[in-house]
Amino acid sequence: MEIIDVALRAAERASEILLGYQGRLEKEEIAFKSKNDYVTKADREAEEKIIETIKTYFPDHSIVAEESGTSGNSDYTWYIDPLDGTKNFIHGLPVFSVSIGVAFKGEMIAGVVSIPKLNEVFSAEKGSGAFCNGEKIKVSDRPFNEGLIATGFPFKGKEMLDDYLVCFKEVFFSVSGVRRCGSAAIDLAYTAKGIFDGFWELSLKAWDIAAGVLLIEEAGGTVSDFKGGRDFLRTGNIIGASQSSYKHLFSIVNKYLGGF
């Protein structure tokens, strides 16, 4: 079975688990990881099912997963976020996702983002385009000043908050609207689909963004870190946007956050 097919199968199985739990979680099934950061029984079971599916077909591949950590020493690495948007999930907000990205020697080659409650499955393979529910997608061509830009608040990087807020203000006054969904994987997928014209966030983890990076690039967009490089998986600082919006969004974000 091809890597993308395994990723799709794993995301589907994880999505079924999440749907089975939403609205039915007991208090004892929700654990506190750190301030404003939670994990649930659903996260853990979904991640276990994803890893089980991957290991069935690719037992030697490396895993980088949010809840169970890192394992393996292969040229192939799977980045797994079994539930991106856990707080949304706990509160019954339908904006949460499963994100699975695969890299070969550090280069993203496959990615899947599933949004279970909205019945949307995004997928991409290196060099083959990006898709939503099997239909090809592409980034928008709207001018930046007419754009809808997504972001995420730096709850894991509060030392950056003052700089972020100044950055947010300039973006806010430069475009037609700014949104904060609470799932970076969805923000990236929706940028690839042309719903959002761009996205920026800081202090993310590799599993939050690995799949979405490939979705945007295969949909014709541009992705970078805040310095204009490719170090986003390590730093967690990312800008992803359409060709028409990237240079404008990068200019603002780099001005205020390029030192991080």
Q: According to the model, what pLDDT value does residue 23 have?
A: 75
- Please count the structural domains in the chain: 2
The CATH number linked to 54 is: 3.30.540.10
DSSP string for 90-136: HHT-S--EEEEEEEETTEEEEEEEEEGGGTEEEEEETTS-EEETTEE
- Show which of 137, 171, 206 is a domain's final residue: 137
d(CA 186, CA 199): 10
Distance (Å, rounded) from C-alpha 216 to C-alpha 235? 19
Residues 247, 165 share a domain = yes
Domain holding 77, by residue range, is 3-137
Please give the model's pTM, rounded to 2 decimal places. Answer: 0.95
Are 8 and 121 contained in the same domain? yes
For the chain, the distance separating the N- and C-terminal CA atoms, rounded to the nearest angstrom, is 41
Both 160 and 116 in one domain: the answer is no
Q: What is the CATH number of the domain that holds 151?
A: 3.40.190.80
Answer with the one of 103, 137, 171 that is the final residue of a domain.
137
Q: Average pLDDT per run of 10 along the chain, which is 260 residues long?
A: 97 97 68 58 94 98 93 96 94 96 98 98 98 98 98 82 96 98 98 98 96 98 98 97 98 95
Which pLDDT does position 159 carry in this prediction?
A: 80
Residues 129, 258, 243: CA angle, nearest 5 degrees = 30
Q: Which of 137, 165, 199 is the last residue of a domain?
A: 137
What pLDDT does residue 229 have? 98
Same-domain status, 119 and 16 = yes
